[in-house]
Each structure stands twice: as C-alpha cells, then as structure tokens.
Amino acid sequence: DAKTTQPPSMDCAEGRAANLPCNHSTISGNEYVYWYRQIHSQGPQYIIHGLKNNETNEMASLIITEDRKSSTLILPHATLRDTAVYYCIVRVPSMEYGNKLVFGAGTILRVKS
Amino acid sequence: DAGVIQSPRHEVTEMGQEVTLRCKPISGHNSLFWYRQTMMRGLELLIYFNNNVPIDDSGMPEDRFSAKMPNASFSTLKIQPSEPRDSAVYFCASSLLGVQETQYFGPGTRLLVL
C-alpha cells in the first residue's frame, strides 16, 4: 500500500472551510484514497473515498490532483464538532481479501471559535 | 441500525487474568476487524475475518492473544494472561465485502491491566 504524508496538526476558524492535505506520491493506478476521522474517545468514522475523480457527499469534498499524487479533504463549513484526528489512507480494495486499512498518525484538526 | 456493538465498554483487571472482549457486527456485514489503539503505537489492525474465516492475523502481538468468530453475528478477542502493556482501547469494526466497502467502528473497549 502507498505511504501517505499528512501535516501533524492544523487549526481552522469555525464556519470557515477546512482544507486537509495528504501526499501520496507513490500511489498506484488502482489504489483508492480513503478519509476517516476520529473524534476524541470515539471509534474512527468513514468520511469519503475516491479513485481519480473529485467526490462530494454530505460530510465533505475530496479533491484529487490529476496525477493522483496528492489530495485534499475539504470540510466546507467547519464546526467545533469537526475537531478530530483525520486519517488519509490509500488502499487497493480486494473482493477476496477485504479492505484492510493501515492508519498513520493523521492530522489533528482543531476548529476554534 | 444499532451499529457495531462492543462489550464491555470498560474493563479493569489485574495482571495475569483472562480478558474477553466481545463484538457484534452490523447485521449483514461479512468482514470484521479488531484494532488496538495506544498513544505510543496509534491505531493498529490486529486481525480480520471475512465470512467468519480469519484472513490476516499478522497484527496479533503474541500467543497470549486469540480471536474467534463462531458465527456472522459475534466475535471475541481474548487475552490470556493479560499484562499491563495490553492496556489500550480495542475497537471492532465491520464492513460489507466489496470494491467500495467502508468500515464501521464500534465505540471501543477501554482496557486497563493493573
């Protein structure tokens, strides 16, 4: 699985967009980019994933560069409840072996009022 | 949907005792994962099952740890004997096998071994 690099921490003002970068320069053509987050004292929560096209759901948007070597998770209007550790993971999903996720250190996002 | 259910939520035990953690995956899911989280090592995958069969247990730290999945709706992670370094939060997650599966995590069991 490709290795990812994320900044250790970021701050964001409440109500502003939070843009969380992830570098995955060794990603292969069939690897997906997944984002999970972990709010304090809770289990990780799935946010979004994508292969090459930009994706959007009710929680966030995922922007993947054309060369797929990096991506950005965007929380359009961050709230205090978005304060969490955000994990960027790249993975080839396998019908046979399942989706084994390897979590790195992630980015601690602090949303401030 | 009740989500992934784990029990107990908190466990305090003494070194040398047997500890059993339990997990009920989301109904219909056929993959189940056990993770351990500590400050030092972060979130680590211990073992996972597909269709009740263990696929990869390379993350299980040593023979003191064992996991079973007797049926699609129940799994256990056992530590025998427990040691203080086993103190951690243990998460169970489940998913539906497929190309775009996502994992759903339980609330975790906080284990303290004295």
Going residue by residue through chain A, which has 113 residues, state the pLDDT in tens, using 9 for 90 and above.
668 999 999 999 999 999 999 999 999 888 899 999 999 989 999 999 999 989 999 999 999 999 999 999 999 999 999 999 999 998 876 666 666 788 899 999 999 99
**pLDDT category, B1, cuts 50, 70, 90?**
low
Amino acid of residue A42: Q
Mean pLDDT lowest among A12-21, B60-69, B75-84, B90-99 = B90-99
Kindly report the nearest CA distance between residue A85 and chain B, in angstroms.
11
CB contact under 8 A, B99 and A93: yes
Contact across the interface for A100 and B45, Cβ inside 8 Å: yes
Q: How far is A76 from chain B (nearest CA, A)?
A: 22
Residue B36's contacts (CB-CB under 8 Å, 6 or more residues apart) are: B43, B44, B46, B88, B89, B90, B91
Burial class (CB in 10 A: 0-12, 13-18, 19+), B74: middle
- Does the beta carbon of A51 lie under 8 angstroms from any beta carbon of chain B? no
Contact flag B45-A102 (C-beta cutoff 8 Å): yes
d(CA B6, nearest CA chain A) in Å: 11
- Dist CA A69 CA A22 (whole Å): 9
Q: Which positions ≥6 away from B25 have C-beta within 8 Å?
A: B4, B32, B72, B73, B75, B92, B94
DSSP class of residue A5 equals: B
| Mean of pLDDT values over B22-33 | 94
